[in-house]
């Protein structure tokens, strides 16, 4: 009979750790390259959905900004961008209840986003809520 | 006179903890990083004097210079698909900034393209965070 009492040969097991730091540094390089560390500038624009906008419509006459091609109007008066900003700030919208803070933006013709962005930022800065009225649709969004 | 021979000591840089340090750095980057989703979207920022620094929100809608619409960096066929997509993404998120939608649009895009997109975001119940650049005084 074979002897089971014979001692098994003990082999030393080692995990190769030499390249671990290389792999880890490669992963770090990947994360550095794939990560965005951009800081953004902009503003919050409050735009009510169609249902809320229609409820607001019932209250009273709201201030309106008209963008017609290159022309800009505030309450049917032609203005430039600094005048629009000043006019909207003069309305003191933050002190009013939510329903009376709506500024209707009416657009027709070709309007680039640059102009629209400036109008949106002016309304947002004055504490207004934007209501969009498009001539083609003729209905509030 | 016979000078005693100087004993040369072997110089070793301790590299045992290098891997640990590297993995700690990886964990830091994994926790803090936010992957670039819209590297494929080419757009020029609109400018205005009233913009200020804003926190980045998780949901992002973009319109590139050709008028293509993107949600989280993926191209969408139309604003209707956008409304459903934004609503679904908002449902998955919780917290105060769950409804904030980052809106990036090329400054030259016409209103026939961006207005339906803004309308779709509003219909989905999102609050638009318009991204732009501060206007430099000339």
- Given a cut of 50, whether residue A139 has pLDDT beyond it is no
- Position A135 scores a pLDDT of 64
Residue with tokens 């390259």: A33
Contact A113 B105 (CB under 8 A): yes
Report how many Cβ contacts below 8 Å link chain A to chain B. 150
Tens digit of each residue's pLDDT (9 = 90 or more) over B41-82? 888 999 999 888 887 778 889 999 999 999 988 899 888 888
Minimal C-alpha gap between B115 and chain A (Å): 8
A54 touching chain B per CB within 8 A: no
Note down the domain range covering B80: 47-134
How far is the C-alpha of A3 from the C-alpha of B96, rounded, in Å?
73
List of domains in chain A: 50-134 (3.30.420)
Contact B111 A24 (CB under 8 A): no
A141 touching chain B per CB within 8 A: yes
Q: How many domains does chain B have?
A: 1
CATH number of the CATH domain containing B78: 3.30.420
ipTM exceeding 0.95? no
pTM, entire model: 0.73
Cβ neighbours of B137 in A, within 8 Å:
none
Tens digit of each residue's pLDDT (9 = 90 or more) over A51-107? 555 555 545 578 889 988 778 999 888 999 999 999 999 988 888 887 788 898 988
Secondary structure (3-state) at A20? helix
Minimal C-alpha gap between A5 and chain B (Å): 40
At A140, is the pLDDT very low, low, confident or very high (cuts 50, 70, 90)? very low
Classify residue B12: in a domain, yes or no: no
Q: Is B95 exposed, middle or buried (0-12, 13-18, 19+ CB in 10 A)?
A: exposed
């Amino acid at each position: 009979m074979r002897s089971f009492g014979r001692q098994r040969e003990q082999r030393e097991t080692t995990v190769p750790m030499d390249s671990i730091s290389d792999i880890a540094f490669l992963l770090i390089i990947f994360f550095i390259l794939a990560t965005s560390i951009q800081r953004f500038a902009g503003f919050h624009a409050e735009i009510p959905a169609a249902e809320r906008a229609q409820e607001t419509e019932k209250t009273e006459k709201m201030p309106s900004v008209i963008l017609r091609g290159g022309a800009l109007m505030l309450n049917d008066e032609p203005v430039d961008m600094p005048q629009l900003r000043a006019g909207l700030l003069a309305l003191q919208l933050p002190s009013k209840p939510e329903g009376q803070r709506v500024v209707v933006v009416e657009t027709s013709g070709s309007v680039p986003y640059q102009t629209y962005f400036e109008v949106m930022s002016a309304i947002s800065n004055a504490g207004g809520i934007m209501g969009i009225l498009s001539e083609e649709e003729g209905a509030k969004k | 006179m016979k000078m005693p021979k100087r004993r040369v000591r072997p110089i070793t840089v301790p590299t045992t903890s290098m891997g640990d340090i590297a993995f700690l750095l990886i964990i830091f980057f994994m926790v803090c990083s936010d992957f670039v989703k819209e590297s494929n979207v080419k757009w020029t920022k609109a400018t205005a004097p009233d913009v200020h620094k804003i926190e980045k929100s998780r949901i992002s809608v973009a319109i590139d210079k050709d008028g293509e619409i993107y949600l989280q960096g993926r191209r969408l066929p139309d604003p209707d698909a956008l409304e459903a997509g934004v609503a679904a993404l908002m449902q998955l998120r919780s917290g105060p900034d769950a409804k904030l939608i980052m809106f990036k649009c090329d400054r030259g895009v016409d209103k026939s393209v961006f207005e339906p997109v803004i309308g779709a975001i509003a219909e989905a119940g999102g609050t638009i965070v318009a991204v732009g650049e501060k206007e430099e005084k000339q």
